[in-house]
Chain A
Amino acid sequence: MAGRDFVVFVIRRFINAVITLLILLLLMFILVHAIYTTPLALARLYAGPHATMAQLETIVKEYHLDAPLYVQFINYLVDVFTGNLGYDPIYKEPEVYIIMQYLPITLTFMIPAVILTVLVGTLLGAVAAANRNKWIDYLIRAFYVFTWSSPPYLIALLVLWVFAYLLGPYTHLPASGYVNPLLPKPKTITGWPLIDAIIEHNWAYVDSYLVHMILPVLSVFLYSFGVYTRMARNVTLDVLESDYVRLAYIKGLSRRVVVYRVGLRNALIPLVTLIVLTFALSWTGAYVTEVVFSYHGMGYITTVAITSVDPLMVYDITLFVGISVIIANFIADILYGILDPRVRIT
């Protein structure tokens, strides 16, 4: 019976995610049409900055940019769900194709960074909360206050400076790129270079990739760590002050059991929401880190798109990021259901 409750729960959350996605698409659509109000203006998006009038008019006809808004929206939805995000005017290739070259690069280093942030942040937040106002609490708080207030490029710069330059002779960590450019690329099996290389046993590539990944991961970790640890500490503090924690204590359970097995376990529930927040936040850290480290991922092509005035690319990338967060949210909702019986059993 609990099993069926859970399946119903999952389905409901899935529908929720889809609705949010639809609304997101609607908002983006409205945004674009509010700024580019005429079909010709819209055509400029697809045509690039140097199009002639004739080219623009062809595009208007081809993409039905003069159709009524709701028709355009339906077309748009169909396009998105079939994976057609437009044809990039500058690269002369489908957007989806371009983006899928760079997306795995970013995710490959972003996801470990998020996992690291969550693990370290939860632990340190709990330790800080359990030892409130003792020196370790102050130390942890000082650390996260600094990383929180630092602009991410400062963190990236300092990481780069300290580990690649100052300590360079010892660490041999590279200062840029995501892999040694002289190494041959692995065949495209999954589209994720690191995984492809592992499948092919191309260990030289894997090694170089991982080494190039270390500093960017560190950089994104330091950036997201601040916000997460502070929240983890606050959430844990709130949980530790609750009645059931006090009762567990009064029962005679040891302090360690009370703090970690009862307190932390309950704090995990709101923390799951934080994990999604951190994932969303780390996109920003990833963008900036890629600029500093010349790491060719989504952040990198965003900056290129900005300088070459390619709004379509920026728009589509943003869409991808939004979808990734909606997916992360969905996973978090499921985790929520697993962790909190009040949610899945009514």
Chain B
Amino acid sequence: MTKQVVKRRVGGFAVSIWSWIKLISKDPAGLLGLIIVTAFILWSIIQGTLELLASYLKDPGLGWLLLPYNPFAQNLAGAFQLPSWVHLMGTDYMGRDLLSEVLYSIPYSAAYPAFLVVLSAILIGAVLGISAGYLGGWWDEVLMRVTDAFLSIPAIILAIAISVLLKASFTGMIYSFIIVWWPIYARLFRAETLRVKAMDYIAAAQLYGVSPLRLFFKYLFINTIDPIIAYAMLDFGNVILAASILNFIGVGLQPGLPILGEMASEGVSWGFPRYWWWALFPSITILIIALGFVLLGDRLQDIIGGRAAY
């Protein structure tokens, strides 16, 4: 009985953001995750905007306004420097400051892939999954079979294959991720829809003659989305990790721009552990970002799943 009471109170989006924050923070791990994710999002927005402005206004300096150094400035004499107070993360083979490179690359190495992929996957998954769950029949069967097939290849492996077919560029990588990522969301939405479909208010809405579009948005989507939000939070971390893995292998790069996964692989190929900072710091950056999402998502799943009592 207690579990239902807590779930009713917490499970709806009607509860304000502030009380969610309080709930999350009750767990120190959840709080840490929240802090990391917030810092990451803020930095991505600020730095990302600066970079966009820099290319619009043709003033590259804006891009590294907040960074300790110009990440593109080469200084061959100062190459391969160990981390020091001058260069907190050391320098790479061209003498570029690693810390600046890392900070510069965060928005497009991590933030853009994460949000583009997950949001698109949720949208596609919602449309396909909810329709499958709601309409049932052969459409449902077809969707289940297709998602089964997709899910039988590990996401990253398939993403590599598709990216390579699409010429291994950054946009190719994003498209391939979206193709690979939507099946899980379709499955989740379908399962939730089946659960919600059995509830009376859907039948009531149908009897009322609510239009299908309105039914979709106001009834089905809103009510199936809760557990999916918690999963999506974890998934942002998954996409960031997956993107960095593809970058590590050499896929999805943007010529001329530093990318976290690529920096790690360059560090390895130039000599590990000799130039350990070059491979390690970008990897640790990915770790910290992913950790934030994992902690936050884990905590959210616990709260929504009613497991957060203590």
Contact = CB atoms under 8 A, between A and B. Distances in A.
- Is chain B found bound to chain A in the same assembly? yes
Nearest to A34: B165
Majority secondary structure of chain A interface residues (helix, strand, loop or mixed): helix
B269 to A, nearest CB: 9
A288 B152 contact: no
Contacts of B283: 150-151, 153-154, 157
Contacts, number: 141
Given A27-B146, A237-B307, A154 B284 contact: yes
A324 to B, nearest CB: 9
B165 A24 contact: no
B196 interface: no
Interface in B273-292: 273, 276, 279-280, 283-284, 286-287, 290-291
Interface stretch (B75-83, B215-223, B237-245): B237-245
Interface residues of A, number: 50
A244 interface: no
Contact of B265 (A153, A305, A314): A153
Contacts of B291: 145-146, 149
A303 B154 contact: no
Contacts of B164: 305-306, 311, 314-315
A325 B149 CA distance: 10
A200 to B, nearest CB: 33
Interface stretch (B12-20, B63-71, B155-163): B155-163
Interface string A279-319: 01101100110011000000000110111000100110110
| B165, B268, B310: most-surrounded residue (chain A CB, <10 A) | B165
| B149, B241, B284, B290: most-surrounded residue (chain A CB, <10 A) | B149
B60 interface: no
B248 interface: yes
Contact of A152 (B245, B279, B280): B245
B249 A20 contact: no
A302 B245 contact: no
B168 interface: yes
A143 interface: no
Contacts of B162: 31
A251 B158 CA distance: 50
A163 to B, nearest CB: 12
Given A145-B291, A146-B291, A153 B153 contact: no
B52 interface: no
A268 to B, nearest CB: 21
A301 B150 CA distance: 23
| B148, B150, B251, B295: most-surrounded residue (chain A CB, <10 A) | B148
Given A157-B279, A302-B160, A315-B165, A151 B286 contact: yes
Contact of A287 (B145, B157, B168, B279): B157
A42 to B, nearest CB: 11
Given A23-B146, A321-B157, A149 B290 contact: yes
A182 interface: no
A23 B261 CA distance: 33
Contact of A306 (B250, B286, B293, B298): B250
Contacts of B276: 161
B156 A284 contact: yes
A325 B237 CA distance: 24
Contacts of A292: 268
Given A20-B148, A27-B149, A32-B165, A149 B268 contact: no
Contacts of A157: 264, 268, 272, 279-280, 283
A24 B160 contact: no
B156 to A, nearest CB: 4
Interface in A220-244: 230, 237
A326 interface: yes
Interface in A230-269: 230, 237
B294 A145 contact: yes
A24 B291 CA distance: 33
Nearest to B33: A145
Contacts of A146: 287, 291
Contacts of A326: 152
B149 A303 contact: no
A149 B29 CA distance: 14
Contact of B165 (A165, A311, A325): A311
Contacts of A36: 165
Interface in B67-122: none
Contacts of A35: 165-166
Contacts of B286: 151, 154
A280 B29 CA distance: 28
Contact of B245 (A153, A160, A280, A307): A153
B160 A318 contact: yes
25 contacts: A23-B145, A24-B149, A31-B162, A35-B165, A36-B165, A145-B294, A146-B287, A150-B283, A151-B287, A151-B290, A154-B283, A154-B286, A157-B264, A160-B273, A165-B273, A287-B157, A287-B249, A291-B248, A291-B249, A305-B164, A306-B164, A306-B249, A314-B160, A315-B161, A318-B153
Q: Which 5 A-B pairs have the closest CB atoms?
A: A154-B283, A318-B161, A149-B290, A149-B291, A23-B149
Given A151-B241, A154-B284, 17 more contacts: A19-B145, A20-B148, A20-B152, A23-B145, A27-B150, A148-B294, A149-B237, A153-B268, A154-B264, A154-B283, A161-B272, A230-B298, A281-B154, A284-B156, A284-B157, A314-B160, A315-B164
